[in-house]
Structures are given as structure tokens and as C-alpha cells.
Structure 1
Amino acid sequence: MAGFVNRENRVPYYQQLFQEGQKKHIRQWNQTARGRGMLRVYYGTFIITTAGSMWMMGRMVLGHKTWWGK
């Protein structure tokens, strides 16, 4: 618990980082490498689930109730 209390205050660093990003018109969630990495995972999951839903909707319209079989 002592490590948490005596930790370095990172607020001024991040405040400066995000204020510089506003000058360059960069979205807040896209300013750090960690944010960009999380967005890639989010977009990948979104694309895969949307494509899977569209695939199965098409199969259901054609009367097939499984992913690949007849």
C-alpha cells in the first residue's frame, strides 16, 4: 500500500500530453500507444462480429440454420 501512496504524480504529464494533442486535433483516445492498441482490438472484434452476423443472416434467409453445412 505504501507504493500507491508515494507514487509519482502523473497528472501534469498527461495533462500536458492531452493539451498538446488538442492543438494538433488528435482525439484523446488516439494519443497514446496503449489507446491505439485497444482501438485495434475493438475495431477487429467489431468487424469480425458484424461480418459473422451478416453471414448468418444471409444463411438464415436461404433456409440454412448452421454456419457451414447444408
Structure 2
Amino acid sequence: MFRTAPRMAGFVFRENRVPYYQRLFQNHDGKRQWWKTSRSGYIMYPYLVTVYGLGAATTYAMCRMVFGKKTWFGDK
């Protein structure tokens, strides 16, 4: 029974994608490795927004503290 579970999942006669990805990642086209696939943007754009957004928010909060604004609400 357990030998047929991978077959039912469709893994036995699956296309071998290793040569395709090997050619893709060894191609010297000037792109970084993390931008090579067509699905890279789905991972990279949220990551970049998070990294640069948190960096900007942290810098903004640090500048507020340096100039004496220590609280966000109720500044009088």
C-alpha cells in the first residue's frame, strides 16, 4: 500500500526539471540568481518592500527620538 502512495501523488512519471534549471542558473545573462525564474517577483517584491519599509520606519523613529519626540500620541 505504501509503495503506491507516491504513484498516486504523481511523482513517478514526473518530468525531470533538473537539466532545465541547470541551464537556467548557469546561463551568464547578467541577472542575479534570485531573479532568474519567472516566479521570482512573487518572493522578491514583498521581501524588498518589507526590508526597505522597515528600514525607513526605523530611521524615521530614530530621527524622532534624536530630536526629542519620544511618544507617538499626545505630543503637546
Report TM bin, short chain.
0.7 to 0.9
The corresponding residue for 2:33 is 28
Q: 1:37, CA displacement in angstroms?
A: 3.1
- Matched residues, percent identical? 47
Task: Name structure 2 gaps, 5 residues minimum.
Answer: 1-5
Which amino acid letter does the alignment assign opposite residue 4 of structure 1?
F
Task: Name structure 1 gaps, 5 residues minimum.
Answer: none
Q: Greater Rg, structure 1 or structure 2?
A: 2
The corresponding residue for 1:51 is 56
Which sits farther off after the overlay, 55-64 or 44-53?
55-64
Q: 1:62, CA displacement in angstroms?
A: 2.5
Q: 1:68, CA displacement in angstroms?
A: 5.3
Q: What is the root-mean-square deviation in Å for CA atoms of aligned residues?
A: 1.9
Which amino acid letter does the alignment assign opposite residue 41 of structure 2?
R
Counting helix residues as a fraction of each chain, which structure ranks higher? 1
The corresponding residue for 1:12 is 19
